[in-house]
């Protein structure tokens, strides 16, 4: 049985989508989902492009609200921006939380998305794995 991870950010268009893909592709036994506290309703084209360039894009990735995931019980909630951390909702079941804020690449050149991808891969993945090993 895989453990479920929710990645939250504000718009659910860049950072949380990238983190969702990285967790799903690199951490065995985990199933990641992403959502926004104020979802934009779209995936940033450069976020999609960076995931495609690393062969990690899945057409199921999309910007969504938390209520679309309410049927799932998460083993860990990860916030990847300060706004999501500050406005993180309360879950019915006590759920461990992890917060690591990444700069928003939205509105920047493609290189910023590549840097965000690398930073999430190097900083977030080990922390997610460690947090779930302790649970």
Alpha helices in 70-134 (DSSP H): 82-86, 110-119, 125-133
Give me the domain span that covers residue 52: 3-133
Give the span between the Cα atoms of 104 and 45, in whole angstroms: 14
How does pLDDT run across 75-131, given as a tens digit for each residue? Answer: 999 999 878 777 777 677 788 999 999 999 999 999 999 999 999 999 999 999 999
Q: Indicate if 42 belongs to the active site.
A: no
Q: Indicate if 81 belongs to the active site.
A: no
Instruction: Give the global pTM.
Output: 0.94
Q: Indicate if 104 belongs to the active site.
A: yes
In this prediction, residues 54-67 reach a mean pLDDT of: 94
- Residue of 9, 14, 81, 88 marked catalytic: 9
- Residue of 14, 15, 81, 88 marked catalytic: 15
Structural domains in the chain (count): 1
- Residue of 14, 81, 104, 111 marked catalytic: 104
In this prediction, residues 2-20 reach a mean pLDDT of: 95
Which CATH number does the domain housing residue 11 bear? 3.40.50.2300
* % the chain with pLDDT above 70: 96
């Amino acid at each position: 049985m895989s453990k479920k991870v929710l990645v939250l950010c504000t718009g659910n268009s860049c950072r949380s989508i990238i983190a969702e893909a990285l967790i799903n592709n690199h951490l065995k036994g985990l199933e990641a989902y992403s959502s926004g506290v104020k979802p934009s309703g779209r995936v940033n084209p450069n976020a999609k492009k960076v995931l495609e360039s690393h062969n990690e894009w899945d057409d199921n990735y999309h910007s969504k609200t938390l209520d679309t995931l309410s049927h799932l019980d998460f083993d860990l909630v990860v916030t990847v921006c300060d706004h999501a951390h500050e406005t993180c909702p309360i879950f019915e079941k006590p759920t461990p939380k992890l917060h690591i804020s990444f700069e928003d690449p939205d509105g920047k050149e493609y290189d910023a998305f590549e840097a965000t991808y690398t930073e999430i891969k190097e900083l977030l993945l080990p922390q997610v794995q460690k947090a779930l090993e302790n649970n």
